[in-house]
Amino acid sequence: MRIAIVDYGVGNLTSIQNMMKKAGNEAIISRDAQEIDEAGKIVLPGMGHFDNCMQKFNASGLRPIIEKAVFEFRKPVLGICVGLQMFMQASEEGTEPGLGWIAGNCIRFRQEKMLPGQKIPHMGWQNVTGLKESRLLQDLVEPRFYFAHSFHVNADDPHDELLVAEYGYSFAAALEKDNILGVQFHPEKSHRFGMQLLKNFAENY
């Protein structure tokens, strides 16, 4: 089943594609509406400022096609970093509305809750803890992933949380709601753990 990595001008597209290939699965990088429409699964990357990502995504003309794929045809979608944050209704980082696919918002790390020496942005390797069973987590034993972010998602429904991590306090590192999945970390930079997670997305959904 073809996997489309959405090219709307943002994200580590080639790195995601290469890690997917290392995991044994082919993915295309595309901004072509027909190619994305025909894909069985979708990866929505994101890097940088929330508003910039939302503006570029909305301007790409791909949003209606992808929303039809996600909600009408129930195709699996994986958001990465700001791609996950875009699933929410809003972000403290900007003023653009989010996609609103998952109820909640995106908030900045609270400096007053940080431990001595902890800085924002949160950067580096971090252990994560699973909160529920998921095909995305298959064969991941004591997983660690690479993070680089100043904001994190805050879902209204705790049942949407899949993974949590600790940085001053517990925050959601991944969400899963039906066919909508998203990770705050960068699987393409997370070595064997990231490779396994992308393999799980490609093969288990």
Note the pTM of the prediction, 2 decimals.
0.97
| DSSP structural state of residue 113 | G
Which residue type occupies 104? G
- Tell me what pLDDT residue 4 has: 98
Known catalytic membership, residue 188:
yes
Give the list of residues 6+ apart from residue 73 with CB closer than 8 angstroms, or none. none
What is the β-pairing status of strands 3-6 and 180-183?
A: unpaired
pLDDT surpassing 90 at residue 1: no
What mean pLDDT is reported for the chain? 97
> Which one of the listed residues 81, 122, 161, 176 is annotated catalytic?
81
- Tell me what pLDDT residue 12 has: 83
User: Which CATH number does the domain housing residue 173 bear?
Assistant: 3.40.50.880
Domain of residue 102, residue span:
3-204
State how many domains the chain has: 1
Confidence band for 149, pLDDT divided at 50, 70 and 90: very high
> Which one of the listed residues 93, 161, 176, 188 is annotated catalytic?
188
pLDDT surpassing 90 at residue 87: yes
- Tell me what pLDDT residue 121 has: 96
- Tell me what pLDDT residue 11 has: 78
- Backbone angles phi and psi of 160, in degrees to 5: -80, -15
How many Cα neighbours within 13 Å face the side chain of 59? 10
Known catalytic membership, residue 81:
yes
> Which one of the listed residues 49, 112, 186, 191 is annotated catalytic?
186
